[in-house]
A and B are shown apart, each in its own frame.
Chain A
């Protein structure tokens, strides 16, 4: 019975992420617009844009190969697979034992690499430049992501996401350690860099010198562009949900929870992600994009904070015993 409930939970979770992610992007744009004194297009605008894009005919630029054609599907596919592994609304996923936090990071990286290859495949100057920048940032994000993951998996004695989240949810007092706070800070920087938000990348820019993500998607049009934007919003939602649940997993449904628990889990995660996204969008109003050469500084900082989290938690697991 629990297996059936777990499977149902995962299906509901993936469906909720797939439909909710563009709305979350809409919320962020709306928050930003209001803070800048504009009325904003409303939170459903990303869905309207996507409907428009999916109604257009598919165009492939001359000279591009299969790499270019497959990249949107790989990006979206990897994001959807990752959303089955991450405990967003329920920890009872039957796939939980298949992939741990390292697998999730690997899946997200797979999507980034596919997109970078597509950027190179177009052979345009912008595509190559964007791909090179995205890979530079990606290579610098990866070590700090792994260290932050390592730090949160030490107290739970497992890198399995379900186990980490369950451990924090069942002992909230024991999990309030400086190591967790440091890991949370490192993870927050990783999430911002990985999802391409300010100050690492500006998602609203189409200015040639500053584009990173936009430069790689420049040659896409129609349904493929829609797919890319949808995948990007899913990645953002997943990363925010991961950040929320690793450190504040309150309200998440356990493996034994029924339908009511699952519903509560969905409401809780929706509230947490919307709050996080609004904070992020609000902070972005006051931030300017960092110079590309200053980004390594930010990521070295996050690497160091991740390392400190590991060092500190290796003392603390000794103290709490």
Chain B
């Protein structure tokens, strides 16, 4: 099994997980697929590091793998435990239309990332369109979901795509940069967790559309 195969499967798995995340409405299942996507994101730097014999990148890769496949899904699963009805019942765009929108976004990602691929057509850069597609899908999910938790899932997906694109385009992300980015995401998720808990206490649900009025 060459590293190209591993890299391709990781990139393909990344995209497949984002499709499944858009598809599923059960929030428990979404958190599980998010964890699978974390494995795919982590596999990219690990396979690149083993190919280039780069110890620092390997350390970063293992860190990313643990953070995105274990830590983040754990935090989200904790939020979910208090949720009375863990389903995204009514997204703003229905599931079939969302899936077709993801198809369009994938083609768009392919079109816009062609110049990047053409700069240096290696196996790693050729997978960049897939990472860009995950970024766009994450944004799409962030804006079309009503429940706070599935918006958080969209946000994490967006960040997974950005991390994957960073590893695929550069010769290696320094440990400190990746560490900073990961801590940022973790903080954002923790803040959102507190916010969700507060929302539930105040309003009994986490439907963002019900937050219409400002009050002091």
Contact = CB atoms under 8 A, between A and B. Distances in A.
Interface of A: 176-179, 181-182, 185, 296-297, 300-301, 303-305, 307-308, 311-312, 315-316, 318-320
B12 interface: yes
Contacts of B96: 296-297, 300
B127 interface: yes
A178 B123 contact: no
The A interface, classified by DSSP as helix, strand, loop or mixed, is helix
Contacts of B103: 303-304, 307-308
In the complex, which range does the number of interface residues on chain B fall in? 20 to 34
B63 interface: no
Contacts of B73: none
Contacts of A311: 106-107, 110, 129
B41 interface: no
User: Which 4 residue pairs spanning A and B have beta carbons closest together?
Assistant: A178-B12, A300-B96, A300-B99, A297-B95
Interface in B118-147: 121, 123, 126-127, 129-130
B48 interface: no
A182 B16 contact: yes
Interface stretch (B2-10, B82-90, B156-164, B197-205): B2-10
B19 A305 contact: yes
B13 A297 contact: no
B179 interface: no
Nearest to B95: A297
Q: Among the interface residues A181, A185, A304, A318, which one has the most CB atoms of the partner chain B within 10 A?
A: A304
Nearest to B122: A319
Contact of B99 (A177, A297, A319, A320): A297
Contacts of A179: 12
A193 to B, nearest CB: 14
B129 A300 contact: no
B108 to A, nearest CB: 11
Contacts of B30: none
Interface string B1-27: 000110011011101100100010000
Contacts of B19: 301, 304-305, 308
Given A300-B100, A303-B99, A308 B16 contact: yes
Given A178-B9, A318-B121, A312 B99 contact: no
B102 A304 contact: yes
29 contacts: A177-B8, A178-B8, A178-B12, A178-B13, A178-B16, A181-B12, A182-B12, A182-B16, A296-B96, A297-B23, A297-B99, A300-B100, A301-B23, A303-B100, A303-B103, A304-B19, A304-B99, A305-B19, A307-B107, A311-B106, A311-B110, A312-B8, A312-B11, A315-B126, A315-B127, A315-B129, A316-B126, A319-B123, A320-B4
A308 B99 contact: no
A319 B7 CA distance: 11
A269 to B, nearest CB: 27
A185 B17 CA distance: 13
A301 B12 contact: no
Given A307-B103, A312-B12, A176 B5 contact: yes
Nearest to B129: A315
